Amino acid sequence: MRLGTQNPSVIRFENYELDLAAEELRKQGSSLKLQPQPFKILAYLASRPGELITRQELRDHVWPGDTFVDFDLAINQAIKQIRAVFNDDAERPRVIATLPRRGYRFIAKTTLTAAAGAPLPQGSSESPEESAKNLAGSTPLVSHTSRARAWVALGAVVLLIAVVIAYRFATPRRPATQMRIVVLPFQNLTGDPSQEYFADGMTEEMISQLGAMNPNRLGVIARTSAVKYKNSGKGIDQIGHELGVEYVLEGSVREAGSHVRVTAQLIRVSDQMHVWSESFDRAFKDVVELQSNVAQAIARRIDVGLGQRRAAPPPATQAGWEAYSAYLKGRHLLLDNKTEATIAVALQYFQRAIELDPNFALGYAGLADAYAEQADADLAPEKAFALSKQAALRALRINPDLAEAHVSLANVLFYSEWKWADADREYKRALELKPTYEEAHHSYSHYLTLAGRHAEAIEESQLLLRLDPLSSHMNSHLGLAYLKAGRFDEALAQFKKTIALDPNYMRVYTHLGFAYEWRKMFPEAITAYKKGVSLAGETLEGQADLARALIEGGERKEGLLILHRLESQEKRRYVSPVDLAGIYTVLGDHEKAMTLLENALEQHNGRLLFIHQYHEFDPLRNSPRFTRILQSVGAPAAL
């Protein structure tokens, strides 16, 4: 029955209280999380128990008339969230019953309380058993189709979604300041848990395409930070606050017979309003026509909304599913938690991607980066960079406009061939092609630091962190940029912030130890280095740093034990002569140190680019031999 003129303030049912004035749902006194729109729908249904509430009524009540949204999708998702809070089964409901093609009915027995505490008349309702008889079962989607064609279709649909969202951000009434958005990991609804990378690839492409729209107007959070919210259970408001974004994009992907279905919804953080949502169903046979239509739509809408726009990157999903999945796994290892061990695993993933698709340009770019990372670690630099350059050039032959490959080539030109100007050109070309590419900003900021252009390096690092605020690697990287610029206190604060974010990230302890060692705070440096070495596992990473700090801090015997252990490893694995030279310098054996550095010069060891900023080599700076090495690598004067 309708409640007439009396409005309840609190509606009680089962062990729950629905406080309409406070807009709060409680269970036995504890507040439960429910987003604003589901709360509005729940409140509307609960205030009219037993009545059939049509979907049109819910639409009129919850969404303003000028809202552009897929209402059916939004209502379905809101009801799903409500049922999840109550652990309510749609097939055998206790709280909300669905009447197919008609609407919903609140079926739990309620007690209504006015603001002053007086009970209100109770609504009548049919029993859960009676309502359940009216429910219809759903038909499961078929999840069998061609994987390769699915990826092509997904790439095209991504472009369409990206254009619509970018157009939403570009209306004339918006201020000229940049809006920020995070693309949460798309849900895998293929019915096959092993196909999780189907959804991961969709997320990756969505980030890439949105990032290419207009970086000055639309900032897109990087995948490394976004993925931390996968199955986190956090609400939109909390995610928005933690990432500093105005909008959140959620979505899902599934196969439906001979079609691919992509669903996406754009949510405004300030009021958690679903400002846009839509489902896309496309037949695989129409892919070529679809891609053409999408390209035209992009051109039209960008001209209207965002002005001059860079060309969108070609969809990475042109590769087969398995090849692209292997590439993503390798790339994420290089970005998320880079150590010698994870680099070796990433290399295997890139090799697998190329085996699956010999013309997969991104796979070769990933391979180039993994080889470069192994230089001075598991591989001798000359071998590692030769392999890296070979892979980078192969990627560029396949796709000359692939930003990832330009960064890979730039790293070879810089760290191996010491061609500073050529490297600078390649880094800039990559950023022109793909302004949101994390590794381009990351590598270029290292270049700027080594060139002594510290203000620019810090600016690049800060931009990188805005794109990827929850990345352990990028947080520590900013601290390193501060440190190289001589801003010790800011560096120390940034390293501690990184440790709070991820106490198991190995390289932040190396960076922190370097900072303490630089200030001659040797006990603190030793503690930091020891923690890093303990996290590095079986690799040699960080051991030379620890040996050096132990010797400088008066624990010479322990430091020498590590030095001898490293030298004994040289017959079985590559040990950097630059690392050994640093230890011998602090031991006072300058002749041995210079010989090792000259050996590194013959090897074209990329670590020589750093020695003008390494404090342990200060006693060698007046040596003509040391000066010749700096001149050979093109390094500026020590800073």
Q: How much is the pLDDT for 75?
A: 79
Of 4-18, 294-308, 375-389, 550-564, where does mean pLDDT reach its minimum?
294-308
In the chain, which segments carry CATH 1.10.10.10? 10-132
**Which is it for the CA torsion 464, 427, 170, 301, positive or negative?**
negative
How confident is the model at residue 637, as a pLDDT? 52
Tokens 């990329």 correspond to what residue? 606
For the chain, give the longest Cα–Cα distance. Answer: 96
103 φψ region: left (φ > 0), alpha (ψ -120 to 50), beta (else) = left
528-537: b or e for each residue (b if 16 or more CB lie within 10 Å)?
A: bbbbbbebbe
pLDDT in tens, 343-392: 888 999 999 999 999 999 999 999 999 999 888 666 778 888 999 999 99
| Closest to 468 measured CA to CA, from 502, 428, 503, 491 | 502
Residue 318: the pLDDT is 54
Give the confidence band of 304 by pLDDT, cuts at 50, 70, 90.
very low
Report the pLDDT averaged over residues 435-450.
89
* Cα radius of gyration (the chain): 29
Q: In DSSP terms, which residues pair with 30 in a beta bridge?
A: 27
- Which ranges in the chain are annotated with CATH 3.40.50.10610? 147-318
pLDDT at position 317: 45
User: Per-residue pLDDT averaged across 237-250, rounded?
Assistant: 88
pLDDT, one tens digit per residue, over 67-109 is 444 566 677 778 888 888 888 888 888 999 988 877 899 998 8
pLDDT reported for residue 73: 65
Structure tokens at 522: 């040797």
**pLDDT value, residue 278:** 66
| CATH topology for the 147-318 domain | Rossmann fold (3.40.50)
* Architecture category of domain 10-132 in CATH: Orthogonal Bundle (1.10)
Q: Is 410 helix (H, G, I), strand (E, B) or coil?
A: helix
Per-residue model confidence (pLDDT) at position 87: 85
Q: Give 138-160 pLDDT, tens digit per residue.
A: 333 334 445 555 555 556 566 65
Task: Give percent above pLDDT 70 in the chain.
Answer: 74
What is residue 485's predicted lDDT score, i.e. its pLDDT?
93
In the beta sheet, which residues pair with residue 255?
A: 260
What local confidence, expressed as pLDDT, does residue 370 receive? 92
What confidence score (pLDDT) does residue 461 get? 92
Beta-sheet pairing, 259-268 with 247-256:
antiparallel
Q: What is the model's pLDDT at position 8?
A: 53
How much of the chain exceeds pLDDT 90, in percent?
A: 36
H or E element at residue 40: helix 36-46
Q: Are 366 and 389 spatial neighbours (Cβ–Cβ below 8 Å)? A: no
Q: What is the mean pLDDT of residues 218-226?
A: 82
C-beta neighbour count of 220 within 10 angstroms: 27
pLDDT class of 256 with cuts at 50, 70, 90? low
Question: What confidence score (pLDDT) does residue 376 get?
Answer: 62
CA-angle at 109, arms to 107 and 110, nearest 5°: 115
Average pLDDT over residues 546-563: 96
Output the six-digit token pair for 624. Answer: 């003509």
Average pLDDT (546-572) is 94
Q: Which two tokens stand for residue 414?
A: 């810089």
Would you say residue 556 has pLDDT above 80? yes
| Residue with more model confidence, 283 or 633 | 633
Q: Coil, strand or helix: which one is 552?
A: helix
What are the backbone angles phi and psi of residue 382, rounded to the nearest 5°?
A: -60, -35
pLDDT at 427: 96
Please answer whether residues 78 and 127 qualify as being in contact, where contact means their C-beta atoms are separated by less than 8 angstroms. Answer: no
Binning pLDDT at 50, 70 and 90, where does residue 283 land? low
Q: What is the pLDDT of residues 446-496, one digit of tens each?
A: 999 999 999 999 999 998 888 888 888 889 999 999 999 999 999 999 999
Render pLDDT for 492-543 as a digit per residue (tens, 0 to 9): 999 999 999 889 999 999 999 999 999 999 999 999 999 999 998 878 889 9
pLDDT of residue 223: 79
**What pLDDT score was predicted for residue 204?**
74
Give yes or no for residue 129 having a pLDDT over 90: no
